[in-house]
Amino acid sequence: MISHLEGKLIEKTPTYIVVECSGVGYEVNISLNTFEKIAESERIKVLTCLIIKEDAHILYGFADEEERTIFKQLISVSGVGTNTARLMLSALKPADIKQAISAGNWALIKTVKGIGEKTAQKVVIDLKNKIKKVESAEGFSFATEKNTKMEEALSALVMLGFSKAEAEKGLIKIKQQNPEYTVEQLVKNTLKIL
């Protein structure tokens, strides 16, 4: 699995970018949402999702984790392929898609070209509970805080077998007790309360 690419931006179009990493140029399909967020700087970092099909290995790129998560959820719905998911993320912002799914507003999803009423309803029905679970855990999101100690501690706890939501709640309690804890102290003290 290729989680992200970091390298030189060789080419940027509204539908794909080419990122050179160690002499290899990777073509990465993107949405318009990501196109707008990617700076014209020489070096970039793009989150990716590798889709393997019988006849191709295709990389999809995202400017942030929220968009990548929504993309993965959308393609999990029967009848919604990668191109449809990318089209949805080009027409609507990830937050708008999440809001529409949470509210059961399939009419907003149907406004995307190529999405019919049945597909829009299926997206809402299939993802409503998944989106609510993600939203309930978002209060504990460390990625938006750019807190590497918390991210490392969370990663360690997940690798030890704890669920992400459970580990995040425990880490937040421990972090509130002492914001100066090291990664090791965060993990050890969180283990005591899990």
One domain for residues 69 and 134: yes
CATH number of the domain that 122 lies in? 1.10.150.20
CATH number of the domain that 157 lies in? 1.10.8.10
CB contact at 8 A, 85 and 79: no
The pLDDT tens digits for 90-128 are 999 999 999 999 889 999 999 998 899 999 999 999 998
Model pTM? 0.68
Show which of 62, 88, 112 is a domain's final residue. 62
The pLDDT tens digits for 36-74 are 998 878 899 999 999 999 999 999 999 999 999 999 999
- Indicate the number of domains in the chain: 3
CB count within 10 Å of CB 147 equals 16
One domain for residues 55 and 115: no
CB count within 10 Å of CB 164 equals 13
**Which candidate, 108, 80, 114, 79, places its Cα nearest to that of 96?**
108
Mean pLDDT of the region 162-175:
85
Strands 24-29 and 57-62: parallel
One domain for residues 69 and 133: yes
CB contact at 8 A, 20 and 35: no
One domain for residues 107 and 88: yes
Binned at pLDDT 50, 70 and 90, residue 144 comes out as very low
With 90 as the cut, is the pLDDT of residue 149 above it?
no
* DSSP assignment of 145-176: GT-HHHHHHHHHHHHTT--HHHHHHHHHHHHH
